[in-house]
Structure formats: C-alpha cells, structure tokens
C-alpha cells in the first residue's frame, strides 16, 4: 500500500512542483490542495500517512493547521515548509507538534529524506503501540 501524502500550499505552482517531486519514482500517492480550509475535510475522507504544509498561508496558516490536524489524528506527522529567515516560527511549529521543518528554497533530496524519516517514525510509533497492547 502506497504511502498517502497530503500537500497544502496556497501557491498552485509550488504545489505542482511538490507533487512532481514527491511522486517522481518514490512510490508515494500525493494529494494536493491550495485551500487550507479543505484540509480537515480531506483528512476525514481518507486516511493519510503524512501532511506537508506551507507555513505562511492566508486565513489558515501552517501553525493553525497543526492544531486542526492533531485534533483529527494526533499521530499524523506534519512537515512544515517555511520561508528563509523565519527560523523562530519554524521552531515554534516543531514545539507545537510538527515533525520537522524545511526552509525554502530547498533541495529535492532534503524534502524526500525528511519525508522518509517522518514516515519511518510513524511506522515505529505504530509498532510501538502494537507492542504495548
């Protein structure tokens, strides 16, 4: 079963780039939206293994999204994409529960490695939970 990734960014061109790269011979299935208001609906429609979100978006920013997502699935790893020079906010996002952040512009490999680690982390959490039962 392919890992399902939801990508949220208000800039459609960036979404296309992200989708191109995240689906290029990785085996991931990627859903995108430029509309952060849609996220909770999308998460309820089908299960996702990871969310990648831009930090700065109109109306609902990445920081709000962390809260929204955590309410739906506390285990769902979130990778936040931030603009260069907003390190403090990015750290705040991690404190709030984001798995990690990466700073734009970034290398293709950077996001692929971050996603891979996040998915592994999620699998381990799941195994751990299963063992505890």
Neighbours of 112 (CB within 10 A): 15
Size of the site for other proteins (CB under 8 A): 40
Site for other proteins contains 27 (CB under 8 A): yes
Beta carbon of residue 111, minimum distance to other proteins (angstroms, whole number): 7
Binding residues for other proteins restricted to 35-94, rule: CB under 8 A: 35, 37-38, 40-41, 58-59, 83-84
Question: Is the CB of 63 or the CB of 111 nearer to other proteins?
Answer: 111
Beta carbon of residue 57, minimum distance to other proteins (angstroms, whole number): 9
Q: Is 78 exposed, middle or buried (0-12, 13-18, 19+ CB in 10 A)?
A: buried
18/127 Cα distance (integer angstroms): 29
Judged by CB under 8 A, the residue of 72, 87, 91, 106 near other proteins is: 106
6/30 Cα distance (integer angstroms): 6
């Amino acid at each position: 079963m392919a890992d399902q990734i939801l990508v949220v960014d208000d800039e459609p061109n960036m979404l296309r780039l992200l989708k191109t790269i995240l689906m290029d011979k990785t085996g991931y299935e990627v859903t995108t939206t430029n509309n952060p208001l849609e996220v909770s609906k999308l998460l309820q429609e089908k299960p996702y293994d990871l969310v990648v979100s831009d930090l700065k978006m109109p109306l609902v920013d990445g920081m709000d999204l962390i809260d929204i997502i955590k309410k739906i699935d506390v285990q769902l790893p979130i990778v936040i994409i931030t603009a260069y020079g907003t390190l403090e906010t990015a750290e705040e996002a991690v404190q709030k529960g984001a798995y990690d952040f990466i700073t734009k512009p970034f290398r293709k490999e950077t996001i692929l490695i971050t996603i891979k680690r996040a998915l592994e982390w999620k699998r381990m959490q799941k195994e751990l939970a299963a063992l505890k039962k």
